[in-house]
Amino acid sequence: MQHRRLLITFGLLSGLFGAGYGVMFTMLDDFRDKYGISASALGLIVAVGFFSSFFAQVFIAPRADRGHARQLVYLGMLFNVAGLMGMAFGHNAVLLMLARIVMGIGAGMAGPAIRRIVILADPDHLGQNIGRLLAADVAGFAAGPAISAALTKPFGIAAPFLVLAIASIACLPVIARIHVDETDAADRPVTRFAFDLLRSRPYVGAISLGAAVFLMVGTFDSLWVLVLSDLNTSDLIANLGITLFAVPLAVLGPFGGRLAQRLGPFRVGSVGLLVGAAMMFSYGRLPSGIAMFSVAMFHAVNDGVTVSASGVAVGLVAPADRQAGAQGLMGGVQTLAGGLAAIVASSLYQRSGRATAYTTCAVAMAVLVAFGLACAGRNWATKPADETLDTPSATPVPG
């Protein structure tokens, strides 16, 4: 019962972070039309949040392994609230970028702490619980278009951001009532950061698969609304595509996590990413927004079953007392990849068209999958139940 309550609480918090991003994502064309912000600047607004999240996940999140997990969740929520307020009242690219930076820091410090708390509370169901956190995050993201549609037209652009800020503040007392197992002082890692984990080739392989996921996410997120708008597709279809894309991710996330833990995360993740790369390639060549919408529904099912695999891989190969640092470093690399993808994709789309933008993403994804499998070596087909994965040395090095 305690595990279930903890999972529900932190799943709700993950959902609120996802909802904030989902609202911002669906408002990109509103920012363009109302404030006159260019497509490349919108891509930069998306990207800077990835970069600030990278900083927080790599340099702040490891503190969760040293007895500060709950504190980082609190601070992350407060930063997210400040960023949402900035999004509500920012009327130009600079203010929106600053707000996005603050949101990224909040998500970056809280996300790995949440995953650490959930993983260590019930390690026997690591895959399923990672999948459930993914499902909550995606469900929040999927709620973004609905929140925007319900509030923006009658109350203005600021309304959805303000509602999420209020909901986040209301959740802060809930965190205080949940028991969190913090690391005892004697057991806290000596290293400040997680860079020493990069000695483990399977860990590097897991990060590579995670980076491929966020190359796809950064490209998809920065282009979807703009491409469908330029193809004269209705706003209803564009927003419906975002919502329906997220449904399989939310519903299938726990199943995908269990599948990755049972069959092996490298196997499940690599197959899913190669299928995803093929889908991204197709977006550059489909003749209409409706055709893109149709393919996206199949893409969503594939991602729902497979994208949690990289997080499961990290949970399996990293030591228990390094989970926040390990998840944070992977998350940092992911957000950096997503930020670069958003900048490159929006720039390529503006200069060379959607075929070039989507093809570049697909090729980069395939390269990262190949590199990840090479790093995983024999572990690519390992079933965790049958054989222990290679793990990094526990010997501390200066970080």
Indicate if the pLDDT at residue 91 is higher than 80: yes
DSSP state of 184: P
76 closest CA partner among 104, 97, 52, 118: 104
Q: Is 83 within 8 Å of 361 (Cβ atoms)? A: no
For residue 291, the model assigns a pLDDT of 95
Highest mean pLDDT among 75-89, 105-119, 309-323: 75-89
392 within a domain of the structure (yes/no): no
Mean pLDDT score, 30-48: 83
pLDDT band at 348 (very low <50, low <70, confident <90, very high): very high
Q: Report the distance separating Cα 242 and Cα 67, nearest Å.
A: 38
Q: Look at residue 146 in the predicted model and tell me its pLDDT.
A: 82
Please report the pLDDT score of residue 101 as a whole number: 95
Amino acid 397: pLDDT:
32
Choose among 103, 332, 78, 310: nearest CA to 206. Answer: 310
pLDDT at 387: 42
If you average pLDDT over residues 64-92, what whole number do you get? 89
Tell me, what's the pLDDT at 184?
A: 53
Whether 183 maps to a domain, the answer reads no
For residue 275, is it within any domain? yes
Phi-psi domain of 16 (left: phi exceeds 0; alpha: psi -120 through 50; beta: other): alpha
User: Would you state the structure tokens that stand for residue 25, as one six-digit string?
Assistant: 């994502």
- Domain assignment of residue 19, yes or no: yes
Joined tokens for residue 356 = 């070039």
Task: Give the residue with greater pLDDT, 321 vs 365.
Answer: 365
User: Would you say how long the chain is, in residues?
Assistant: 399
Number of domains within the chain: 1
Least confident span in 122-126, 255-259, 282-286, 385-389 = 385-389
Q: What's the whole-number average pLDDT of the chain?
A: 83
Structural domain for 250, as ranges: 2-176+194-381
37-41, 46-50, 89-93, 368-372 — most confident range: 368-372
Please report whether residue 227 resides in a domain.
yes
Is 277 part of any domain? yes
- Residue 155 vs residue 6, higher pLDDT: 155
- CATH number of the domain enclosing 260: 1.20.1250.20
* Prediction pTM value: 0.74
Nearest to 269 by CA among 159, 375, 369: 369
CA 97 to chain centre: 19
The band of 194, judged by pLDDT with boundaries at 50, 70 and 90, is low
Look at 51 and 271; give whichever has higher pLDDT.
Answer: 271
Look at residue 185 in the predicted model and tell me its pLDDT.
47
> Looking at the predicted structure, is the pLDDT value of residue 394 above 80?
no
Tell me how many degrees the CA angle 239-334-31 measures, rounded to the nearest 5.
35
Residue at 139 is within a domain = yes
Asked whether residue 93 is domain-assigned, the answer is yes
Average pLDDT over residues 154-178: 88
Tell me the pLDDT tens digit for each residue of 282-312.
999 999 999 999 999 999 999 989 988 888 8
